[in-house]
């Protein structure tokens, strides 16, 4: 015997893409904190909170920067090597010190 019919309305998040000019001073500061050969600005094909935050904060410069692999995100067994988290913490520290310097 089947149970009652169920109808689900699944809202879709249809957000504008996020972008920041690679020549923006904040992006340049981030790149300087990463060091030689670590990264170059690229586009990413997935959703982040940046699409909400960038519009909420008037188009502020936005960079997606964190440890781990995108292919691991939101998986049942998602993981990130501890050394990558420590590396990211050092990058964040350099960025805060450089960007927030009086």
DSSP per position, 45-59:
SS--THHHHHHHTTS
> Residue 55 corresponds to which tokens in the numbers above?
């519009």
Among 24, 68, 76, smallest CA distance to 48 is for: 68
Q: What is the pLDDT of residue 37?
A: 66
φ/ψ of residue 27, rounded to 5: -60, -40
Q: What is the reported pTM?
A: 0.77
pLDDT 10s per residue in the chain (102 long)?
677 888 888 888 777 788 899 999 999 999 999 877 666 788 888 888 888 888 899 989 999 888 988 888 888 888 899 999 999 999 999 999 999 987
List, in order, residues 6 or more apart from 36 with CB less than 8 Å away: none
Distances (CA, A) of 25 to 54, 78, 79: 16, 33, 32
């Amino acid at each position: 015997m089947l149970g009652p019919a169920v109808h689900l309305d699944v809202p879709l998040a249809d957000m504008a893409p996020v972008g920041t000019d690679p020549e923006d001073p904040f992006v340049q500061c981030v790149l300087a904190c990463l060091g030689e050969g670590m990264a170059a600005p690229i586009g990413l094909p997935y959703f982040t909170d940046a699409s909400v935050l960038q519009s909420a904060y008037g188009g502020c410069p936005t960079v997606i920067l964190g440890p781990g692999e995108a292919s691991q995100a939101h998986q049942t067994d998602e993981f990130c090597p501890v050394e990558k988290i420590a590396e990211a913490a050092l990058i964040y520290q350099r960025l805060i010190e450089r960007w927030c310097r009086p």
